Structure 1
């Protein structure tokens, strides 16, 4: 058995406590990033928009909604390690209402559409990183893309 001086135990404890508090303060699961009271994760597996939304729901969230340029930049950072590949987020066109909606039910006010988009033609789901401008494009929902999920941070953790 090795005995360490008390101050070493205290230093180890404080180091662990700081690390624990830091990880827990964001309220996000491991692998998710925290931004503006929400947790985000990039999902590299290619799926249809509907499959991607169901996958996000299975993790307690939805495909990401975007409410500001800063949020969009944060999502862009998540996709940057994957060469900014075209990626699903939570926008979907409600044909009968003729409006774009977020799958999480939040208001659809901020947009970053490419010129000439949305173009319609039964393209009812929103992909990001379209063209070198990295803007938004409406696309057929059955095409397969990676995705970004978002959920509220856990109130139990932080």
Structure 2
């Protein structure tokens, strides 16, 4: 006899016992005082519990049948092994063994996280070591004076260019010295192209040029004959072939141009007593 049948029989027995007791009381064989309100409440509660048990058993059996059908219909999908990318696992292991210890890392955790995932995805790291100090940039970025620079090949509007730089943990370049201006101009000319967005615009207030970090422009390298202010709010870019130093120009921010992104280089320190530093494998 299955569980459902046993519960059904128990409910039936409880029901008829309660009915019989009520009839017996009606014949007067037992005093009306013995059939107290407490006993009547107990009988009703027992019947209610029995009914609930039967309902629960029915629900459980229904769910069991449903699960069984789902398993049979999708057996291959649920029982098939999950594919494992062993090559990707090996890359993760290599990166874990190649990264320096916490005590030897002086950069931000977010920078290390970025480098870690880039390495896992197969990108190489550009590094420059001087003594015990190493500075790292992502592949495709150029290292100069503790900064990493990326010269794009695709073209976008100024706002889209800034958003793209931010997605790479950087910003459109902020040029702070003549040395930096010359380096960027020379590198951009080698990369090819005629116009690159830089992180300078007068979008907030016409004629008031500010960098992407909202600091005001102190010194500009505007191309000769190009006024630094205009009738409409505009964004700044550089045209390297025109001049190695004074080559900034202004244009409508919605125009599509290449871009120059910058971010701080990640600094790592070699341990003085470690001849085979793991940095060599990053």
TM-score, L = length of structure 1: 0.75
Which segments of 5 or more consecutive residues in structure 2 lack a partner in the other structure?
1-125, 270-282
Instruction: Specify the alignment match of 1:121 in structure 2.
Output: 231
Judging changes above 3 Å, is the alpha-carbon distance between structure 1 residues 50 and 36 closer, same or farther for their aligned structure 2 residues?
A: same
Change (3 A) 1:33 1:107: farther
Which secondary structure does the structure 2 equivalent of 1:27 belong to? Answer: strand
Residue number in structure 1 paired with 2:266: 154
Between stretches 98-107 and 43-52, larger displacement belongs to: 98-107
Normalised TM-score (structure 2): 0.44
* Alignment RMSD (CA, Å): 2.6
- Unpaired runs of 5+ residues, structure 1, are 1-18
Contact 2:194 2:241 in 1 (8 A): no
Shift of 1:105: 3.8
What pairs with 1:1-158 in structure 2 (closer than 5 Å)?
A: 22=129, 25-96=134-205, 98-114=207-223, 115-129=225-239, 132-133=242-243, 135-155=247-267, 157=268
Which structure exhibits the higher relative contact order, with contacts defined as CA atoms closer than 8 Å and separated by 6 or more residues? Answer: 1
Q: How far did residue 128 of structure 1 move?
A: 0.4
Residues 27 and 105 of structure 1, relative CA distance in 2, 3 Å threshold: farther
Matched pairs, number: 139
Counterpart Cα distance in 2 of 1:20 and 1:100: 34
Higher helix share: 2
- Cα distance change, pair 119–107 in 1 and its aligned pair in 2 (3 A): closer
Moved more, 56-65 or 115-124: 115-124
Structure richer in strand, relative to its length: 1
| Structure possessing the higher radius of gyration over alpha carbons | 2
Answer yes or no: is the 8 Å Cα contact 1:41–1:78 preserved in 2.
Answer: no
